[in-house]
Amino acid sequence: MKKLALFLVLALGLSSCVSSKIHKDLQAKYADLQDENTQLRKDKETLSADLTQAQSQLERLRKELTELQKEHTGTEEELAALNKKYQDLNRSYEYLLENNNALLASNLKENKQLVEKLNNLQRELGSKEDSLRTEQNRLEYLSQQLQEREARVYELESLIARKDSTVASVMNRLKDALLNFEGKGLSVENRGGKVYVSLENRLLFPSASWTVEPEGKKALQELAKVLAENPELNVMVEGHTDSDAFNGRTAVKDNWDLSVMRATSIVKILTNNPGVNKANITAAGRSEYVPIASNDSPEGKAKNRRTEIIITPDLSELSALLEETK
């Protein structure tokens, strides 16, 4: 059984500041993976329907094969009877040949008819034997096709089951690791097959800063332990701001820069754990353009000032299987 940890998501790049164009590309890839997952489920249903139809056809062919075998047996019996009759007639013919020329002519005609019938029966029997061999070969091929389809369906079902199991395991492990931070601006949830860890800025950053607070650093270190236990996971760290303008006097000049710097600060803390796979983690700035609440109130702005850590599995095994089924 192939190994897999399934999730549908964003293809992840190297740790660095990511532009809006790259983010849109990642969203497109995520949509493609969703479409592929939907197509995969449709393919499963189609394969199941094909399997049912093929099994029905196989049963019908087996019945036809049984009838042909019975007919073949009957033909052989008829052939044996005709052979016996032929032998009897031939003996009669030889007797009559010696005693009566008139009867010889009559029996010769009947004998020729019987020989012709016998030859016809032999040809018919040969044709039916060829037909039986053809049907047997077709049944063997059909059986092989059914086995291959059943194997694909089983593998797809196994991959989906392993994906669900991996999501549940990561969710439970994260909730246990971050239990002490509940009610402090941190939440863990499953959205569409992806694990989201959302941290409000009140836990992470002072106003207009990208330096992580000590309490937030503790939470990130606990999260990094879980990531180190699962180095195959892909991680996207997204920084979000409210709509208030940020006018920096350094290289960090606006909300775009600020969101990227905050995401980068978090990535650096996570990758301080040597078990975290740096190749599978990405920092991204979303600025103010993906709000989860209205920016018309202080409460809404507080919710929008957040960092989301999106955890997904390695999808290479699923991609390889999809290529095989094309």
- pLDDT for res 321: 60
3-state secondary structure the chain: CCCCCCCCCCCCCCCCCCCHHHHHHHHHHHHHHHHHHHHHHHHHHHHHHHHHHHHHHHHHHHHHHHHHHHHHHHHHHHHHHHHHHHHHHHHHHHHHHHHCHHHHHHHHHHHHHHHHHHHHHHHHHHHHHHHHHHHHHHHHHHHHHHHHHHHHHHHHHHHHHHHHHHHHHHHHHHHHHCHHHECCCEEEEEECCEEEEEEEHHHHCCCCCCCCCHHHHHHHHHHHHHHHHCCCCEEEEEEECCCCCCCCCCCCCCHHHHHHHHHHHHHHHHHCCCCCCHHHEEEEECCCCCCCCCCCCHHHHHHHCEEEEEEECCCHHHHHHHHHHC
- pLDDT for res 224: 95
- pLDDT for res 3: 46
Cα–Cα distance, 218 to 203 (Å, whole number): 10
Which residues on neighbouring strands pair with residue 238, listed in sequence order?
284, 308
Mean pLDDT, 10 residues at a time, the chain of 326 residues: 44 51 83 86 86 87 85 84 85 76 73 86 86 86 80 71 74 83 86 90 91 94 93 94 87 92 96 95 96 95 94 72 61
- pLDDT for res 16: 47
- pLDDT for res 102: 66
Cα–Cα distance, 235 to 227 (Å, whole number): 9
Structure token pair of residue 241: 């701001």
> Residues with Cβ < 8 Å from 207, sequence gap 6 or more?
none
> What backbone torsions phi and psi does residue 107 show, to the nearest 5 degrees?
-70, -30
Structure token pair of residue 309: 């850590």
Cα–Cα distance, 234 to 311 (Å, whole number): 6
- pLDDT for res 10: 42
**Alpha-carbon dihedral sign for residues 192, 186, 176, 216:** positive
- pLDDT for res 24: 82
End-to-end C-alpha distance for the chain, whole angstroms: 20
- pLDDT for res 8: 42
The DSSP bridge pattern shows strands 306-312 and 194-200 to be antiparallel
Cα–Cα distance, 219 to 215 (Å, whole number): 7
* Whole-prediction pTM: 0.53
Cα–Cα distance, 313 to 268 (Å, whole number): 21
